[in-house]
Each structure stands twice: as structure tokens, then as C-alpha cells.
Structure 1
Amino acid sequence: MFLGSMASESALASEKLYIYTENFPPYNMSATGRAFEHNANSIDGICTEMVQAILQKTDLDYVIKLRNWDFGYNRALSKPNHGIFCTTYTEERAQRFKWVGPLTKNLWTIFAASGTNLKIDKLEDTKGMLYAGYRNDVMTNYLLERGYEVSAMESDDINPKRLELGQVDLWIADRLAGPYFASLQDVEGLEPVFSFNETELYLAMNLETSEEVMKKLQGGLQEIKDSGMYEAIETKYGL
């Protein structure tokens, strides 16, 4: 009996999930304004509420932590039972993870400084201009792969201020997250000058995560959709 109990506890421990997110309001963010958080109670946002609701519909043991994007992304990429949200689903990333979602959607938006006269009809109109972005972000990578100039930081927090001060010409961000970050930096009047590429956001799990765990996560997502909780969370954040 003792040996069997020990084996059972070991199996459960091996299935514990370590899930990371970043400060990307209003999708995921610290509830206390800190750069890092160590438990789910101190993390807020659309995707955070979705992921917590999904996990609460399962019997899985888990922790959710807020770190910078590079740290969480590389953990999810390299360690079994590790994951990261909200992660944009792309063809390039598709084979790197197992996916739960979509949790919600976002719309890529280019912001210019207050009072701009800039008119953009297509993305190519911004060739030769310097963008603010952040490292390993899907929007930043998209621009870099197509030959655009991007000054990428460790996080998006200071990019609104960089744009206001004229250190960059443009800033690429999400339609909801952009204005939120700007308000946190007391930056007003940034103007959305072009939007494109609506994408879906997911919980991305390491490829070695078991199919049993993935089935439970997908089942939890279906439960919150069936109960109306999914729609209620989106409505709460104005989607």
C-alpha cells in the first residue's frame, strides 16, 4: 500500500503544470503593478481569467507565474508540462507546441505619436521608418522577417513613452493593449494609424505534455464555453 501510494503521488507530481504569462494588458497583467508575480491570485486579464477558468474545470495541479516573455516562452518550449499564454498561433509556431484555444483574438495595430499627419494605406507605406517593439514578440518578428526596422526592448512597457519622445517613428501593438500600456505611462493621444492581421491567442503547452493532460485542458475550455463563462469573460473586457 505504501509503495503504491508513493508511486501515485510521484505520477501526480510529474503532471503538475507550470504556466507562464507576461505583462500584456488587458490580456494578462500583474494585479499589483509589479514586473513579476509568483501566484495566480496576483495576475489578472482576459486570458488569465480564461486559463484559470479552464484549469478549475480539471483536477490538474498547476502554478501560474508572470515573467518576461522570453523567459516564459523558452520554458514552455523546452520543459515538459510547461506552457505560456496568451500566445499567438502562427504557422511557424504550430509544430512547436500543443495548443488550447483560442482564448480570444487580437488585432495588430500601428500607433503614431499624438498630432501625427501620417496616413497609411498599407503596411509597405512604413518602410524606412523605425518601429518600437519587443523581443520575440510575434508582431516584432513579423516586421523583422519582412525587412522593417524595429528597435526591440525586453518588454512593451516603455514603448509608448519612446514614441511620445520621438525616439521611434511608430509602435506596433495590440488594439486593446496599446492604449492600456500608454495610459500606464501617462502617455495620451497616441493615434492608431493602421490595423491588420487579426490573430487568435492560445495557451501553448510543451510538446511533451501528455495527451491526457491536453484532453483535460480542452475539456475545460469546452465546459466554460457551454456554461456561458467564456462569453461572460469577453463581455467583461468589452469584447
Structure 2
Amino acid sequence: MTGWIKCCLLGVMSLCLHVAAAEPAVRLLTEDDPPFNYPNEHGGVTGISTEMVTETFRRAGIPYSIEIMPWLRAYNLAQVDSKTCLYSTTRNDEREKRFQWVGPLLKNDWAVFAGPRSPPGVQDMAALKSFSIGGYRGDAVALYLQNRGYKIEYTSDDVLNLRKLMAGHIDFWASGIYHAHFLAEHERLGPLRQVATFSSSYLYLACHPQTPPATLARLNAALDAMRHDSFIDALKKRYLTPP
């Protein structure tokens, strides 16, 4: 093989490697929402959804970065930054056309919880119409109830709702069941009683509408492959406290 041919081949290989390395990293945004996504002691992000999403990107061979921030800020950024995806995002009719979807990641049941100072005798959703229910701004759980005529008192952080519930400053609290039990155990607050389960949702990775179809296909294929091995089952045993 002549020298100039070798140089051409090396040049082509170098160009291919450069193109592969130059694939832009996807900016992954999330919030502090355990056990799905939350900060760890090393300044990074952990949680069952975080491990699922990062493994999906690893298997798909797509570079990424992760940032944790307040939910409303992350939600708004994911709609204007074309290189951005958001997790763990409840998929509903209002959000359907605002994103491209990868998933589902996990099923998330929604419930209303009572604390030791909650009004007694309330056992169903109809009876809750007369009482204050804690929720946090931008959360799909709280918006679902508000749109159906329930009285929602908003905070910026769901831990505040748990503390207000225990202190008797709100009557009840609406949240996902895994999230509620995780927070109660972590904060060592209780007892927490589940009054009624009122809906089920699925959590997804929500990507900007301009995300390339090929990227979405690679991510969904990687996630589908994970469902057929022990990876996701092992994560559920580690992170999800039985309600």
C-alpha cells in the first residue's frame, strides 16, 4: 500500500472518529423528587429514574450531562432548548404535543395521605372536597386535583407539604405513593395514612420536539432492551419502598 493511500485512509478514520466524538451531548434536566431523582452526597444525581435514564444513554451511545433544578424551571427550559430532555415527567394530554417521549420508565400511582392531625373519618375522594390538600407548584398530581375542584395549597417543595401535614397546617397531602413513603421514611415523620388512590400515571423521559427521530429510536430501543434483562428489576428492589 502506497504512502498516500495510507494517509487517505488514516484521514478518513480520523474524520469519522471526530464526527462521532463531536455528537452533541443531550442536556438532561431533573428535579429533587426521590426515589426517582435526587442529589447524592457527592454532588451528583441519583435515584431509580436517574439510573434508568443514564443506562439508556450509555447503551444507546449518546453523550449527556445532568442538571438538577426546580421543576418549573426545568420544565420551561426543556421546551426551548432543542438539546434538552426532562425526567421524570408524567405524560398527559396537556404535555403530549410539547415533547417527544422516551419510555415509559415507571408506573406512578397517585394518592391522598393523612397525618396524625388530619380530620378523622375521611375515607374517599368525595369527602376530601371540603378540605385543604397540599401540593407543589407545577406538579401534575396537584394540577390534576385542582382541575377537578379540589382545594390545593401550594408550596415550592414537597418536603414542606409533609412537614405541614404532620404539624396540622394542611388537612391532607397529595403525592405519588413511592415519593410519599420515601420522604416520610427519610424525614422520620409519621404516621402516614393513605386515604385513597385516585389515579395512575407513567413517568417518561420528555425530549424537545426537535430531538432527531434517530436519537429517540436509539433511546427507546436501549430502554426496551433493559426491560428484558435484570437491570430494571434490580433497581426496583433497591429504590422502591413498598407502599
Question: Residue 117 of structure 2 contacts residue 167 of structure 2 at CA under 8 Å; is this kept in 1?
Answer: no
Following TM superposition, the consecutive aligned residue runs of length 4 or more in structure 1 with deviations greater than 6 angstroms are none
Give the % identical residues.
Answer: 28
Asked which structure has the greater CA Rg, the reply is 2
CA shift at 1:10, angstroms?
10
**Cα-to-partner distance string for 1:138-182 (whole Å, 9 max, x where unaligned):** 011111112211111112121111111111111001111112222
Match of 1:201 in 2: 203
Asked if the contact 2:104/2:202 (under 8 Å) is kept, the reply is: yes
For residues 140 and 21 of structure 2, the distance between their equivalents in structure 1, rounded to whole angstroms, comes to: 35
SS in 2 for 1:176: helix
TM-score by length of structure 2 reads: 0.85
What residue is the counterpart of 1:12 in the other structure? 22
Report SS of the residue matched to 1:106: strand
1:5-39 Cα distance to aligned partner (Å, 9 max, x none): 59x659935x3200111111111111129xxx5xx
Q: Secondary structure at the match of 2:143?
A: helix
| Cα 1:115/1:158, change in 2 over 3 Å | closer
Task: Work out the CA distance in 2 between the residues paired with 1:28 and 1:77.
Answer: 20
Deviation at 1:82, TM superposition (A): 0.6
State the partner residue of 1:101: 103
C-alpha distance in structure 2 between counterparts of 1:161 and 1:171, whole Å: 10
Pair 1:68-2:70 in alignment = yes
Once superposed, what is the RMSD of the aligned Cα atoms?
2.3
Which of these residues, 40, 44, 47, is aligned with residue 46 of structure 2?
44
Give the partner amino acid of 1:186.
Answer: R
Structure 1: state its 5+ residue gaps: none
Give the structure 1 partner of residue 149 of structure 2.
147
Match of 1:184 among 177, 183, 186: 186
1:118 counterpart residue number:
121
Give the aligned partner of residue 21 of structure 1. Answer: 30
Q: Which amino acid aligns with 2:54?
A: Q
In structure 2, what is the Cα distance between the partners aligned to 1:160 and 1:194?
A: 17
- Which structure 2 segments of 5+ residues have no match? 1-10
The offset of 1:115, in angstroms, is 6.1
- Could you tell me which residue of structure 1 aligns to residue 158 of structure 2? 156
TM-score by length of 1: 0.87
1:78-130 residue CA offsets vs partner (Å, 9 max, x unmatched): 21021111111112211111111111111101111126523323x22211211
Question: Matches of residues 159-238 of structure 1 in structure 2 within 5 Å?
Answer: 159-238=161-240
Matched residue type, 2:137:
R
Kept in 2, the 8 Å contact 1:158–1:185? The answer is no
SS at match of 1:70: helix
Distance 1:98 1:67 in 2: 21
Picking from 131, 134, 140, the partner of 2:133 is: 131
